[in-house]
């Protein structure tokens, strides 16, 4: 169980040629027998130039995650499939760097101008300037060698505009994600955690409305005060790194930084909705429901609080947190569980943050670039494009049918040898299978298959909803099912906005972690704790002026710039 908990934490932080290992050679050779059934570039109508000796030589620099793909079975299969697709031999010199070190140095490599033929990138659009100066290949010039990537471009919210620059250029392949069952769940801040054991003992249920939530807090506090409930407080925070209000912004249909809503860009913390939310939280605080250390206790302290009866509700947490607390607790009767956000009747279905897109989609933060100096760009573009094919995505995420997984109807399931392992994610990672998320075989990033990832990398946790009562489910699935389509927040489906490097710098001041949002955290805390009166209009006006004064540029001008540059 502890190994599973460690893997879950690593996945939250991650999310983001070899030789065959002993005992796997026979399996690789068996897979080779089906090579004729696989696609080829020639079969797709792609004409590639002739290679000397029929061999494509490349230098490839990739990031390695918790488990390196070097020597893994799926890495070997990737090379065999690529050679079959391209109709040539691959002679690749791999440079592998641990993910954290890679992220620190990748822009240094680009600045040097001495880039490999192909490389992983985790800085997203920051690479565009190196395309503009001629260091990187403009992939749009080689669209005739793409068959599969355009489908990911088309299906992503924003379409081709999302994947390309305003002038139509494209300097990196974006990381792909395949969501075959269209599960539009979220990874965090889409639920509240409750002590299910306490609720069951007292005949309570998780609240479905904000009024019910307030009443539950009142009832729990009354029992704490009369000594019949062994808790110090009703509500705790999971870590000071996330403001307590982050768990509530979606309930009030606002957000804690720059976001898109009702056809325009806005700064959530200046909205009336945000003020209403702060007033509500102030009411909870004044009633004595909230642990006074909610803004100072770090993640480790919160872990202790969750497992030592400090509080019975936590409104800010990541998937896997409840399961982790249950594992860490020494009280066998303690049970943390999850329920979807309670609804504020004024605003309707709460918004959840980070909803997955249906079907195929792209992530602009990570991807693959190609050197403008690579000798055979046609081969390289065709090779990377093939990584987005259904057949390669399936193989890299699931392995070989009959050996690594089985199919029943439209459902795939990993073999018992993986699912019965102490940690299934690490078991598939040992084979180089992408579903682990901690081993990225091929040229990172081959698109992740959501179903495969859920199968081995997502923990089951206790859940509740009004229809099913108490049950066990997986976070991504349950936040999709319980929230429904209406819970997908508008800022998760914002339109494409084209910005220059200078404009992006201006925008960053209003983003999460920017100077304005950082100041919001400081001042909002004063409203929650009553140091400043949230009902005092002059205090609120001073707050608004203070936030706007944090930017080097005109605050309102930044919002105007964002809206002017948004594709309508």
> pLDDT, tens digit, for every residue of 344-387?
999 999 999 999 999 999 999 999 999 999 999 999 999 999 99
- Asked if 291 and 235 count as a contact pair (C-beta separation under 8 A), the reply is yes
C-alpha 425/C-alpha 3 separation (Å) is 10
Q: What is the mean pLDDT of residues 160-181?
A: 96
State the pLDDT at residue 459: 86
Write down all domains in the chain, each with its CATH number in brackets.
44-183+365-454 (3.40.190.10), 191-351+461-564 (3.40.190.10)
Ordered alpha helix ranges (H), 45-132: 73-86, 99-112, 128-132
C-alpha 330/C-alpha 309 separation (Å) is 11
Q: How many CA atoms lie within 13 A of 109 on its CB side?
A: 25
Instruction: Tell me the per-residue pLDDT of 226-268, one tens digit each, with 9 for 90 and over.
Output: 999 999 999 999 999 999 999 999 999 999 999 999 999 999 9
Instruction: Tell me the per-residue pLDDT of 1-58, one tens digit each, with 9 for 90 and over.
Output: 333 333 433 333 333 333 222 233 232 333 344 445 899 999 999 999 999 899 999 9
Residue, of 122 and 155, whose pLDDT is higher: 155
State the pLDDT at residue 36: 55
State the pLDDT at residue 251: 98
- Asked if 208 and 343 count as a contact pair (C-beta separation under 8 A), the reply is yes
Q: What is the mean pLDDT of residues 443-471?
A: 94
What is the distance in angstroms between the CA of the first residue and the CA of the last residue of the chain? 49
C-alpha 209/C-alpha 539 separation (Å) is 30
- Asked if 296 and 525 count as a contact pair (C-beta separation under 8 A), the reply is no
Confidence label for 300 from pLDDT (cuts 50, 70 and 90): very high
C-alpha 322/C-alpha 14 separation (Å) is 19
Q: Helices 321-328 & 299-307, crossing angle to 10 degrees?
A: 60
Q: How many CA atoms lie within 13 A of 277 on its CB side?
A: 27
Instruction: Tell me the per-residue pLDDT of 315-338, one tens digit each, with 9 for 90 and over.
Output: 999 888 999 999 999 999 999 999
Instruction: Tell me if the pTM is above 0.75.
Output: yes
Confidence label for 501 from pLDDT (cuts 50, 70 and 90): confident
Backbone angles phi, psi at 566, to 5 degrees: -90, 135
What torsion, rounded to 10 degrees, do the Cα atoms 518, 524, 528, 529 define? 70
Instruction: Tell me the per-residue pLDDT of 180-235, one tens digit each, with 9 for 90 and over.
Output: 999 999 988 999 999 999 999 999 999 999 999 999 999 999 999 999 999 999 99
Instruction: Tell me the per-residue pLDDT of 420-441, one tens digit each, with 9 for 90 and over.
Output: 999 999 999 999 999 998 899 9
C-alpha 350/C-alpha 448 separation (Å) is 28
C-alpha 342/C-alpha 337 separation (Å) is 15
Residues 6+ apart with CB under 8 A from 310: 231, 232, 233, 236, 291, 304
Backbone angles phi, psi at 563, to 5 degrees: -70, -35
- From residue 435, alpha-carbon distances to 95, 264, 312 in Å are 23, 37, 34
Radius of gyration in angstroms for the set of CA atoms belonging to the chain, rounded to a whole number: 25
- According to DSSP, the β-strands at 469-474 and 460-465 are antiparallel
Question: Does residue 59 carry a pLDDT above 50?
Answer: yes
Q: Which residue has the tokens 């480790």?
A: 300
Question: Does residue 295 carry a pLDDT above 70?
Answer: yes
């Amino acid at each position: 169980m502890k190994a599973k908990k460690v893997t879950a934490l690593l996945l939250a932080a991650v999310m983001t040629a070899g030789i065959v290992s002993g005992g796997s050679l026979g399996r690789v050779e068996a897979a080779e027998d089906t090579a004729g059934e696989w696609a080829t570039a020639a079969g797709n109508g792609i004409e590639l130039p002739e290679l000397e000796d029929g061999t494509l030589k490349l230098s490839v620099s990739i990031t390695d995650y918790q488990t390196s793909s070097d020597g893994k079975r799926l890495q070997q299969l990737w090379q065999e499939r690529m050679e079959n697709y391209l109709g040539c031999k691959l002679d690749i010199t791999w440079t592998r760097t641990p993910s954290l070190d890679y992220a620190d140095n990748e822009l240094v490599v680009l600045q040097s101008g001495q880039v490999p033929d192909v490389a992983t990138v985790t800085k997203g659009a920051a690479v565009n300037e190196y395309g503009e100066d001629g260091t990187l290949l403009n992939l749009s010039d080689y669209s005739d060698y793409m068959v599969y990537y355009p489908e990911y471009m088309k299906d992503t919210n924003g379409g081709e505009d999302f994947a390309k620059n305003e002038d139509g250029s494209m300097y990196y392949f974006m990381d792909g994600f395949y969501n075959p069952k269209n599960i539009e769940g979220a990874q965090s801040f889409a639920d509240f955690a409750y002590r299910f054991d306490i609720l069951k003992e007292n005949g309570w249920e998780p609240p479905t409305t904000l009024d019910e939530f307030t009443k539950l807090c009142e009832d729990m506090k009354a029992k704490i005060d009369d000594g019949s409930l062994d808790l110090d407080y009703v509500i705790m925070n999971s870590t000071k790194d996330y403001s307590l209000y982050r768990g509530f912004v979606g309930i009030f249909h606002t957000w804690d930084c720059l976001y898109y809503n009702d056809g325009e860009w806005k700064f959530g913390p200046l909205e009336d909705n945000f003020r209403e939310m702060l007033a509500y939280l102030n009411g909870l605080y004044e009633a004595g429901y909230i642990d006074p250390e909610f803004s100072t206790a770090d993640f480790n302290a919160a872990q202790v609080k969750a497992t030592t009866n400090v509080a019975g509700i936590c409104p800010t947490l990541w998937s896997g947190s409840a399961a982790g607390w249950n594992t860490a607790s020494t009280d066998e009767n303690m049970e943390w569980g999850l329920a979807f956000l309670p609804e504020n009747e004024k605003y309707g279905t709460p918004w959840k943050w980070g909803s997955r897109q249906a079907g195929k989609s792209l992530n602009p933060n990570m991807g693959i670039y190609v050197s403008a100096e690579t000798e055979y760009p046609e081969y390289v573009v065709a090779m990377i494009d093939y990584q987005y094919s259904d057949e390669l995505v399936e193989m890299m995420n699931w392995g070989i049918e009959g050996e690594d997984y089985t199919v029943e109807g439209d459902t795939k399931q990993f073999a018992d040898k993986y699912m019965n392992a102490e940690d299934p994610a690490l078991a598939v990672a040992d084979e180089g299978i992408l579903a682990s998320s901690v081993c990225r075989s091929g040229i990172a990033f081959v698109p992740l298959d959501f179903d495969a990832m859920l199968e081995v990398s997502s923990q089951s946790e206790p859940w509740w909803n009004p229809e099913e009562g108490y049950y066990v489910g997986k976070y991504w699935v349950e936040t999709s099912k319980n929230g429904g389509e209406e819970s997908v927040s508008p800022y998760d489906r914002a339109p494409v906005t084209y910005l220059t490097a200078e404009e992006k710098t201006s925008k960053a001041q209003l983003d999460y972690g920017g100077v304005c949002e950082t100041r919001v955290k400081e001042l909002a805390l004063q409203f929650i704790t009553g140091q400043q009166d949230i009902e005092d209009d002059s205090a609120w006006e001073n707050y608004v002026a203070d936030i706007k004064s944090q930017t080097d540029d005109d605050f309102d001008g930044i919002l105007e710039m964002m809206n002017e540059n948004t594709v309508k």
